[in-house]
Amino acid sequence: MSLYDKASLVQIPSGTKAGTLYSVLPANGDGDFTHTRATSATRVNKDGLIESVASGVPRLDYPLIDGVVQDCPALLLEPIRSNKIAYSEGFNNWASVFTAVSLNEIVSPDGGVNATKLTDTSDSSTHRIQIGNTTSSSGSFFYSIFLKKGTLTTVALSVYSGANAADSKFDLDNGSIVSTTNGTAEIQEYGNDWYRCIVKGTLASTSTTTYIYLKEKESYSGSSQFLYAWGGQLEEGSYPTSYIPTSGSAVTRNADFCIDAGTSAEFNTSEGVLFVESAALADDLTFRQVTLNDSGSNTILVGYRTNSNRIYTQLVSNSVSQAFLSYDVSDITEFHKFCIKYSTNSVHFWVDGYKRASETSATMPLALTDLDFQSTTGSAQFYAKTKQVMVFNEALTDSELEQITSWTSFGEMAKGQLYTIE
């Protein structure tokens, strides 16, 4: 018998429709999740292209690692965000300063021939395009643009909001950050020489201007050199999220909610295992939980905490915490496998192939009826990319727990579980 045969509920992102995320087990549909999101949203598909997904449809996002699309998708759950840039792709609506703007020149990250060519003029000056935006007057922001080298291989992004500008310069030839001022920067590879260049800063005014500087922010004499741009985004929050296209006004993407899988038949209050493989969207020091619960006073959870790079688990019985265990990893934005095993007053926490912590005097929960990507109270949504969630209504052996938390790839896990995903 494989470990797969022992599971009572298995969620591996593979089948969806509006309002539903299908689970592999149980076969009668009791393990399916209810998914809501009141707007469309984007994902990276199996071909590595950014595409729109209709309102309410769960997003099966194919992770990009060093620009390479991974073989299997992850469930992408994100908070509400707005793109404040009114024209995310229509760069002809941005003000142009000594820069020629030519639309629809090459293939963009969404697979369409809709990327813009930006070419410097012969003038001795800064060469840029810019657009004004309306934001809040406080808090952090992320400004991002998808950029591709042409004859120009460097570019500078800048945001001005009533104080010193947050600036970053990027090298599009080797995908690196050259310099930053009054903020931080990040660069993500998307394949075909495209990079998402990201600047983080702090807002000081509701009137915010975003800039793309060809080559650099300093003046230089142009010579018809060029690069390509697509998909500008200015969002307020503690980390950047998926692309939100706009075409004349700011657009809001609503939050994802994924809840209500399973019944009491799939969950054992005496013993069992809750297993998750996921990568957090950011180390943003917030609670994010996957919970087995009864919508009340009994909860078994795994998730991320308000401590940097901390994964934790907790068991609550009749509103009293019975076990609270944690482990710090190097980076929660990378994929990790972790689970809680509970049985006969004992609770054990496994992370990436090892038992990390234990509690031996816990009272087991009185009732379990639901599996949710959030807390029992509807908070602490599990904003992450999740490759799999499994529930076992029996306590697995240490050897079995080592096995399921230490597979090095999704394909290895599938082979070990003796099943395939189409």
**What is residue 421's predicted lDDT score, i.e. its pLDDT?**
47
Side-chain-facing half-sphere of 187: CA atoms under 13 Å? 24
pLDDT at residue 205, as a whole number = 87
Please report the pLDDT score of residue 358 as a whole number. Answer: 97
pLDDT tens, position by position, 8-35: 999 999 999 999 999 999 999 999 999 9
Whether the CA torsion 10, 13, 15, 20 is positive or negative: it is positive
**Which CA distances in Å does 228 have to 12, 84, 292, 368?**
37, 21, 47, 53
Please state, in angstroms and rounded to a whole number, the distance separating the CA atoms of residues 400 and 243. 39
Residue 413 pLDDT grade (very low, low, confident, very high; cuts 50, 70, 90): low
pLDDT greater than 90 at residue 239: yes
Cis peptide upstream of residue 79 (ω within 30 degrees of 0)? no
Query: How many helices and strands (H and E) does the chain possess?
Result: 3, 37
pLDDT single digits (tens) 200-210: 999 988 999 99
- CA–CA distances in Å: residue 88 to residues 208, 227, 404: 15, 17, 43
CA 348, CA 322: separation in Å to the nearest integer? 12
Residue 234's Cβ-side half-sphere holds a number of Cα atoms within 13 Å equal to 30
Structure confidence at residue 416 (pLDDT) = 46
Q: Which domains does the chain have, with CATH numbers?
A: 3-79+256-417 (2.60.120.200), 83-253 (2.60.120.260)
Condensed to tens digits (0 to 9), the pLDDT of residues 153-182 reads 999 999 998 877 899 999 999 999 999 999
Where are any strands of DSSP class E within 66-165? 68-69, 74-76, 81-83, 95-97, 99-107, 113-120, 124-125, 128-134, 140-149, 154-160
Mean pLDDT to the nearest integer, 59-76: 90
* Polymer length of the chain: 422
With b meaning 16 or more CB within 10 Å and e meaning fewer, what string describes 117-149? bbbbbeeeebbbbbbebebeeeeebbbbbbbbb
pLDDT score recorded for residue 407: 61
Q: Is the pLDDT of residue 408 over 70?
A: no
Place of tokens 């080797």: 174
